[in-house]
Amino acid sequence: MTHPKVRKQHFKTVKEIVKRANGKVVCSACIMGLGQFLYRQWAKGILYLLIQIAAICFFVFVGAEAIAGFFTLGTIESNAWYGIEGDNSVIMMLMGILAFIVLAIYLYFYYANIKDAYAMQCAVEQGKKPRTLKDEMRSMLDDKFYKTALFVPIIGVCIFNVLPIVFMILIAFTNYGPDVKPPVLIDWKGFESFIKVLTLGQFAPTFFKILLWNIVWAVLSTALNYFCGLGIALLYNKKCVRGKAFWRMFPILAYAVPGFITLLGFKFMFSYGGPINQMIVEAGGKAIGFLDLDAKWSARGIGLVVNCWLNIPSSMLLATGILSNMNRDLYEAAKIDGASAFKQFTAITLPFVVFATTPILISQFIANFNNFGIFYFLRGGGLIADGYFLASDTDLLINWLYNLSISNDYYSIGAAISIIIFLFTSAVSLAVYVLSPSYRQEDTYQ
Amino acid sequence: MNKFITAFSVHMAVILALIVSIGTVATLSKTQGEGAEKFTGELERNVTIRILENDTAIKQGYLKELLDAFNEAYAEYGIVAEDANMDQYSDLENDGPYGKGPDVLYQPNDQLMRYVPDRHILPLPVEELDCYEAVGQAAWDAYYTKVGANEYYFGVPVNVQGPLLYYRKDLLPENWQEEWDENDNEIPDMVESWNKLYEFSLERRQGNEKFGYMRSFLEPYFSVGYLYSYGGYSFGNNNTDPTDIGYSAGEAEKGGWVIRQLASAMNEWCIDDTITVNAYSKLGDGSYFATMTTPDVYTMFIDEMMKNGMTRAEAEENLVTAPIPMLPKSGDLTEEDPELIPSKMMGGVNGYAISSYTKAPNACLAFVDFATNYEMIKRRNELLGIAPARADVAQEIGGLSEVIQNNLEEGNIVIMPSIRENAQMWTPLQTLFTDLAKDPFRDADEMKYDSLDKIKAALERVDQQVYDAIHTLK
């Protein structure tokens, strides 16, 4: 987002241009580069003119049709039996988005062209020479180097990030689903998918039940991983612990094994034929369905524990690194003041560690909120709990999203849920970060 | 008006007019092209067609033999068939429209027929093919559908898939001919009737060490047959109507009762996929007497039996495959001298289809015709052990191929629904079967399915779940 000061400056410039533009600047507003030609800046003029010609060619040959296609999403259905090539709504939507991105880039250059012409007007009025292309190039390698350096990444971001994200968002406003997918033509349906998610008879209760469990899961798993990791790091940091490197090896080993292998291992361990049940049966007990249909809370509990197994090592490593930077004098001073070990932890260690790790904590919260693998691998999918629509009682929103969009092709509904997840997680992250000491007391530990 | 604003407005108006006018013209000028029939009977010359076969056919060398034979036979036309070199489960829906898919596909009927609504595979003039008369109607029906008023076949059946009972002959009681062969037909009663198999399983059970029949109920493919046997069905109108879900139809609850009883003769391993994972080794070491699975895993059992000290000849002698036993009409596995009815089991028909995106449909049709002729299907059976869909080959081979063929024609192999909506049936069914299998292991006061009425109600819930999954979001 543009900083308010910068935005104000832009607005001032535009207002000033509108008010003070001379005929040559007006020419540039009419045809890109014309003002530059009139100021005898041939190279810049040609460059801007070429941009305008390229843009017109793009819109004549591709862009205009792509933008029209974006609104219609196709008018002719293909029929492969007779070799009739029709429209592909998905491709048309993508091409439409691309055309809008090109349009936005064109408008940026158009604005730059006017601003440049106006800068020449100002320079001439002040009796200076207008900046040549060479001057501009030099500036691009010097004080405006950030623009040069960011130009290619921004194009990449537009194509590889913005385009898919905008595409996914737009899918939520269509009827893209199991019966409506290419070669069948897709239509725009406004907020229909959102209304279905939030109001539809069986659908809405499932959504809210899963959302509630998802929040509980994200908070619990993040807190457990974080504090257990910190606890182990503190323990390994104690002078009395011998062979620290040896003990540290175990969490690292758990960390090194690919997550899904660990999850499949745990699934086997807790299955009816797994070693845990074998031991229970051999001891005279009855096999327990730790992860089966009735196992709502035991499955959730196992999920939390297994998630700890997978994530505590990284929290531990993080905390170990931060603890090594602690000022030991603070503890000495606290001891002299008679602070107990717990008081030292809550007043010195915890604030320091939390301050340094809040952004990581937020990213862990988001990762846990969207933790797809844990219950997908532990329970193997394939269960529908009573009162749930295409979901089990351990599914998180991301698992439900997968069931709906990948397993059942409800793409528009899936996209609507993704947007809701995004809104929720971004609001929480932003609120937590803004309220955290990392943001509010940025200078405390500097 | 300010000169600058005028110039700016003119510029924007020109760009906007350009986009709107060209966009509108481009949209309005689009016209639907005229299509043409693809199967003209005239072979395309000097073309290469890409064949997608299953992995076993490639590994066992069958595909190479087939391609060599075809390429030699059609060399004069310059037609070359080659391995598409793609994953056997590759999805034509994703690849075909972009020109990446194979020209001819060999896949199960439910997979192939998923391509029909969006016209990814071509309707075939099957009556022109050599195999047309030789393949039974039940197998053809797996590829039949109506589009508007027209009736079409979209695939050519090659082999029939259906579950079989695998059992260890050497684990039969020594006196089985006296005690377990009431009808004196030299076939043990426990592989002819579920009641006897249940009785034998209870007799053989020794804690968690020895079992009779063992099979996880988790997989609907192997469990839904119990419902079919008593009148249940997946979709109405011959598995084509997704508005009619019928798992609770007829007396399907008796099928659920059978599952519950069979589970009680096993242990908790039948609730999750434990048995699916360990069936090969446990049958191999003699812990299990029998299990049910598809014909293509025969060698895995043999390998496990050899690991336990048998020679290949001994293993092949002792491992017997049999048709699925008969069920009691009452659904009660404890009934003495029950009236028996045939078991219906879910199955499938693998076959060839032709991609709508092929550039050489006539050459593809020639390939399909060649690959489904008598000699090639027989050779396929010899190399891959499949149960042929061609009745003439099945008859000549005899044995289980003939049994499976007959089961299909008699309706005891219920072909997996070929409509797209079948994707919605698996999870609700799996949930119910898991719950049913768990029931005997619950404490008495926690049992959910201790009467036929309760099972019926659960099946009706499954019907509703499948219906909702299909229709709620439409």
Cβ–Cβ of B472/A201 closer than 8 Å? Answer: yes
State residue A7's pLDDT score: 58
State residue B239's pLDDT score: 87
Higher pLDDT, A1 or B295: B295
State residue B32's pLDDT score: 62
Write the pLDDT tens digit of every residue in A10-54: 666 788 888 888 888 899 988 999 999 998 888 889 999 999 999
* Local confidence band at A443 (pLDDT 50, 70, 90 cut-offs): low
Cβ–Cβ of A59/B3 closer than 8 Å? Answer: no
Q: Is A314 on the interface with B (CB under 8 A)?
A: no
Residue B1, pLDDT above cutoff 50: yes
Beta-strand ranges (E) seen in B295-354 are: 319-322, 327-328, 340-341, 345-354
Average pLDDT value for chain B: 89
User: What superfamily in CATH does domain B48-154+347-410 come from?
Assistant: Periplasmic binding protein-like II (3.40.190.10)
Q: Is B119 on the interface with A (CB under 8 A)?
A: yes
Write the pLDDT tens digit of every residue in A5-18: 655 666 667 888 88
Substitution target in A291, A384, A409 with the highest count of B β-carbons within 10 Å is: A384
Q: Is B438 on the interface with A (CB under 8 A)?
A: yes
> Which numeric CATH code is attached to A196-440?
1.10.3720.10
Q: What is the mean pLDDT of residues A246-269?
A: 88
Residue B163, pLDDT above cutoff 80: yes
Q: What is the mean pLDDT of residues B231-252?
A: 93
Q: Which of residues 29-88 of A touch B (CB under 8 A)?
A: 29-31, 55-56, 59-60, 63-65, 67-69, 72, 75-76, 78-88
Residue B301, pLDDT above cutoff 80: yes
State residue A69's pLDDT score: 92
Substitution target in B11, B468, B473 with the highest count of A β-carbons within 10 Å is: B473
State residue A16's pLDDT score: 85
Substitution target in B1, B2, B3, B4 with the highest count of A β-carbons within 10 Å is: B4
* Domain spans of chain B, in order of start: 48-154+347-410, 164-344+420-471
Cβ–Cβ of A76/B30 closer than 8 Å? Answer: yes
Q: Is A408 on the interface with B (CB under 8 A)?
A: yes
Neighboring chain B residues of A84 at a CB cutoff of 8 Å: 32-35
Average pLDDT value for chain A: 87
* Local confidence band at B11 (pLDDT 50, 70, 90 cut-offs): confident
Among A25, A80, A293, select the one facing B120 at the smallest CB separation: A80
Q: Which of residues 12-31 of A touch B (CB under 8 A)?
A: 17-19, 21, 23, 25-27, 29-31
Q: Is B447 on the interface with A (CB under 8 A)?
A: no
Residue A156, pLDDT above cutoff 50: yes
Residue B144 φ then ψ, to 5° = -95, 140
Residue A4, pLDDT above cutoff 70: no
Count of residues making up chain B:
474
Q: What is the mean pLDDT of residues A275-303?
A: 89
Residue A218, pLDDT above cutoff 90: yes
Distance CA A135, CA B53 (A): 65
Residue A446, pLDDT above cutoff 60: no
Write the pLDDT tens digit of every residue in A295-330: 889 999 999 999 999 999 999 988 988 888 888 888
State residue B10's pLDDT score: 87
Write the pLDDT tens digit of every residue in A64-81: 999 999 999 988 888 888
State residue A1's pLDDT score: 46
Cβ–Cβ of B23/A64 closer than 8 Å? Answer: yes
* Local confidence band at B199 (pLDDT 50, 70, 90 cut-offs): very high
* Domain spans of chain A, in order of start: 4-190, 196-440
Nearest to B166 by CA among B112, B208, B229, B213: B213
Distance CA A171, CA A173 (A): 5
Residue B234 φ then ψ, to 5° = -85, -65
Least confident interval from A289-303, A376-390, B247-261: A376-390
Neighboring chain B residues of A413 at a CB cutoff of 8 Å: 473
Distances from the Cα of A138 to the Cα of A41, A132, A141, A315, B293, angstroms: 16, 10, 5, 47, 75
- CATH number for domain B164-344+420-471, candidates 3.40.50.2300, 3.40.190.10, 3.40.50.2020, 3.90.1280.10: 3.40.190.10
- With a pLDDT cut of 70, the percent of chain B lying above it is 98
- With a pLDDT cut of 90, the percent of chain A lying above it is 35
State residue A177's pLDDT score: 86
